[in-house]
Amino acid sequence: MNVVIMGCGRVGARLAVSLDAEGHKITIFDIDSNGLRRLPENFAGTAFVGDGIEEETLVRAGIDMAEAFVALTRSDNVNLMAAQVAKHLFKVPRVICRIYDPLREKIYESLGLEALSPTIIFSNVLKERLVGG
């Protein structure tokens, strides 16, 4: 699968590396060059520095050919804007967006986006561990 990942933090880098190891075509970018250092030397995908709210950055990442786009910056609004551009302007078939604010998850769905809130997921896991499902 051809995947574009925005945001090369711990989660982005880990996702990129594990998909890359399985032979997927990965393009990852981050606004900060330091983030890209998280990628190992044997990473076979493409990585570059760029701002995801600039349309040119998405074009450079090959968004028009992407089968999936994952938005993982630390800003919910940057994720939401880039994800909508990917979904509605470039018609990327699968768009997944990380959001920190769980209250907004429904709104994201109404905008046609698949949203995952680490806040909700992690608190559910913790609850399960503590008191069972």
Q: Binding segment for other proteins among 23-31, 39-47, 102-110, 125-133 (CB under 8 A)?
A: 102-110
Closer Cβ to other proteins, 53 or 68, answer by number: 53
Q: How many CB atoms lie within 10 A of CB 110?
A: 7
In the complex, minimum distance from the CB of residue 43 to other proteins, in angstroms, rounded to a whole number: 28
The residue type found at 93 is P
| Contacting range for other proteins; rule: CB under 8 A; set: 10-18, 24-32, 51-59, 118-126 | 51-59
Question: Which range of residues in 10-18, 61-69, 76-84, 118-126 is near other proteins by CB under 8 A?
Answer: 76-84
Tell whether residue 54 is a contact of other proteins (CB under 8 A): yes
**All residues at 6 or more sequence positions from 16 whose CB lies less than 8 Å from its CB, including other chains:** 5, 8, 26, 28, 39, 43, 45, 47
Using rule CB under 8 A, residue 116 touches other proteins: no
Q: Could you say which of 32, 64, 67, 101 contacts other proteins (CB under 8 A)?
A: 101
Smallest distance, Å, CB 17 to other proteins?
27
For 20, residues 6+ apart whose C-beta sits below 8 A from its C-beta are: 26, 43, 44, 45
In eight-state DSSP terms, residue 111 is T
